[in-house]
Amino acid sequence: MKAHDGMFIDGAWRPAAGPDVIEVVNPADEQVIATVPAGTAEDVDAAVRAARAALPGWAATPPAERAARLAALRDRLEARRDEIAGTVTAELGAPLKLSQTVHAGVPIAVAGSYAELAAAYSFEEKAGNSTILHEPVGVVGAITPWNYPLHQIVAKVAPALAAGCTVVVKPAEDTPLVARLFAETVQEAGIPAGVVNLVTGLGPVAGQALAEHPGVDLLSFTGSTAVGRRIGAIATGMVKKVALELGGKSANVILPSADLARAVNVGVANVMSNSGQTCSAWTRMLVHRDQYDEAVELAAAAAAKYGDRIGPLVNATQQQRVRGYIEKGVAEGARLVAGGPESPREKGYYVSPTVFADVTPEMAIAQEEIFGPVLSVLRYDDEEEALRIANGTVYGLAGAVWAGSEEEAVAFARRMETGQVDINGGRFNPLAPFGGYKQSGVGRELGVHGLTEYLQTKSLQF
Q: Is residue 434 part of a domain?
A: no
Residues 79 and 170: beta-carbon distance below 8 Å: no
Q: Is 29 inside a domain boundary?
A: yes
Q: Helix (H, G, I), strand (E, B), or coil: what is residue 286? A: strand
Same domain, 331 and 417: yes
Q: Which backbone phi and psi does 288 adopt, to 5 degrees?
A: -65, 145
Whether the Cβ atoms of residue 103 and residue 83 lie closer than 8 Å to each other: no
Q: Which are the contacts of 196, defined by CB distance < 8 A and separation ≥ 6?
A: 8, 157, 161, 166, 167, 169, 183, 186
Q: Are residues 220 and 117 in the same domain?
A: yes
What residues pair up with 141 in beta bridges, in sequence order?
Answer: 168, 219
Residue 357 included in any domain = yes
Determine the longest span between alpha carbons in the chain, in angstroms: 72
CA distance to 80, 275, 298, 413, per residue, from 353 (Å): 32, 8, 14, 28
Does 289 lie in the same domain as 145?
A: no
Number of domains present in the structure of the chain? 2
Q: Is 283 in the same domain as 327?
A: yes
Q: How far apart are CA 376 and CA 394, in angstroms?
A: 17
379 part of a folded domain? yes
Instruction: Check whether residue 348 and residue 221 sit in a common domain.
Output: no
Non-local CB neighbours of 317 within 8 Å, separated by 6+ positions = none
**CATH number for the domain including 196?**
3.40.605.10
Cα–chain center distance at 405: 31
Q: 256 and 384: one domain?
A: yes
The alpha-helical segments, DSSP class H, found in 276-355 are 292-304, 316-331
How much of the chain is in helix, strand and coil states, percent to nearest 5?
45, 20, 35
Domain co-membership, 15 together with 127: yes
10-residue stretch averages of pLDDT, the chain, 462 residues long = 96 97 98 98 98 98 98 98 98 97 98 98 98 98 98 98 98 98 98 98 97 98 95 95 97 98 98 98 98 98 89 97 98 97 94 98 98 98 98 98 98 98 97 97 98 98 98
Q: Within 13 A of 151's CA, how many CA atoms are on the CB side?
A: 21
Q: Is residue 71 part of a domain?
A: yes
Q: Helix, strand or coil for residue 348?
A: coil
Same domain for 207 and 78: yes
Q: Which of 54, 231, 238 is nearest to 139 (CA)?
A: 54
What is the Cα–Cα distance from 169 to 201, expressed in whole angstroms?
A: 10
Closest CA to 453 of 220, 214, 201, 253: 220
Q: Where are the beta strands (DSSP E) in 15-94?
A: 21-26, 31-37
Contact 450, 152 (CB under 8 A): no
Structural domain harbouring 178:
2-246+440-461
Backbone Cα Rg of the chain: 22
- Considering only CA atoms, which of 14, 21, 3 is closest in space to residue 44? 14
Note whether 258 and 381 are same-domain residues.
yes
Answer for the pair 140, 216: CB distance below 8 angstroms, yes or no: yes
Pairing of strands 130-136, 139-143: unpaired
53: which residues sit within 8 A by CB, 6+ positions away? 10, 194
CATH code of the domain containing 263: 3.40.309.10
On whether the pTM is more than 0.75, the answer is yes
| Residues 316, 219 within the same domain | no
Identify the CA nearest to 295 among candidates 256, 332, 329. Answer: 256
> What residues act catalytically?
245
Q: Are residues 401 and 457 in the same domain?
A: no
Contact 388, 365 (CB under 8 A): no
DSSP 8-state assignment for residue 324:
H
C-alpha span between 295 and 286 (Å, rounded)? 10
Length reported for the chain:
462
**Where in 206-353 does DSSP place strands (E)?**
218-222, 241-245, 251-254, 284-288, 335-338
- Tell whether 289 and 410 lie within a shared domain: yes
435 in any annotated domain: no
